[in-house]
A = this chain, B = another copy of it.
Amino acid sequence: MTTQDLVSQIRSKKSFLCIGLDVDLDKIPRHLLLEDDPIFAFNKAIIDATHHLAVAYKPNTAFYEAYGIRGWQALAKTIAYLNEHHPELLTIADAKRGDIGNTSGRYAKAFFEDLQFDSITVAPYMGKDSVEPFLSYSDKFTILLALTSNEGAYDFQVLPSGGEALYKQVIKTSRTWQNAQNLMYVVGATKAAYLGEIRRLVPDNFFLVPGVGAQGGSLKEVCQYGMNHQVGLLINASRSIIYASSTADYAEAAAAKAAELQQQMELVLRDR
């Protein structure tokens, strides 16, 4: 998938919504537990009900690994279903991987070749040779953690480092890496005030923005500070959509929540 494909999808759906598929068996409707693969059954119903409202889906690998082999199988089925039935959607493995070069190469193989995700989230701490094996796939996106949405973001990411905040150093340095045009950045919605500064550093790259909804970030502020000429934002919502209802109407409830966000996004896109 190219940036142009993504932007076209955003324009036609009037949405830049990403739906996080963070499935917890303790939170899904009880009747699904009778299915052969409750996680996949849940994901399929959510995708079927919301795919016209969203442009990206983002399973977080932690939620699948927590169920061992059965979880990994559900992840594989979910990405295969997305690729077969909705190839226009951007798929994001929210895996936050990163290791020395030859090892990051194995993660890239896992997510880009074996599972066939379009993109993956990657942690920057180990530097260039831990990220470039992902970037070497020129038809994929590598989504680097910059300024995350959680409280712990203040522990190290904002420390003054070499003259400015560490997250800015991460962004600036990453621009010198191979295929840097294929980088996206994770920037939390809870840090909307920082978004404008980050946008000035990387005018053309997309931001993946978690933290609207359950974590308290504001869609309006994120758009105000973070948008660029080709929208440049993917706003993620996970729990607020997929757990909108815990009864038989969960997929319709998820679609209603997704539609609310899509309508707010449509208004923003119309005003620009």
Instruction: List A residues at the B interface (Cβ < 8 Å).
Output: 22, 24, 60, 62-63, 65-69, 71-73, 76, 94, 96-101, 103-104, 106-107, 109-111, 114-115, 123-131, 145, 148-157, 159-162, 166, 169-170, 173
Indicate the member of A94, A103, A149 with the most B CB atoms within 10 Å.
Answer: A103
Give the shortest distance, in Å, between A83 (CB) and chain B (any CB).
14
Name which residue of chain B comes closest to A154, CB basis: B127
Which residues of B sit under 8 angstroms from A124, Cβ to Cβ?
125, 155-156
CB < 8 Å: which of B22, B130, B157 contacts A103? B22
Known: A65-B114, A124-B155, A126-B145. 14 other contacts (CB 8 A): A22-B103, A60-B99, A66-B114, A96-B97, A101-B150, A126-B150, A127-B154, A128-B152, A129-B150, A129-B152, A155-B173, A156-B170, A161-B162, A161-B166
CB < 8 Å: which of B106, B128, B153, B157 contacts A151? B128
Which residues of B sit under 8 angstroms from A65, Cβ to Cβ?
106-107, 110-111, 114
Which residues of B sit under 8 angstroms from A154, Cβ to Cβ?
127
Taken together as a complex, chains A and B put the C-alpha atoms of A114 and B63 apart, in Å, by: 12
Taken together as a complex, chains A and B put the C-alpha atoms of A67 and B69 apart, in Å, by: 13
Indicate the member of A73, A104, A155, A173 with the most B CB atoms within 10 Å.
Answer: A155
Whether B98 contacts A123 by the Cβ 8 Å rule is: yes
CB < 8 Å: which of B22, B69, B104 contacts A72? B69
Give the shortest distance, in Å, between A65 (CB) and chain B (any CB).
4
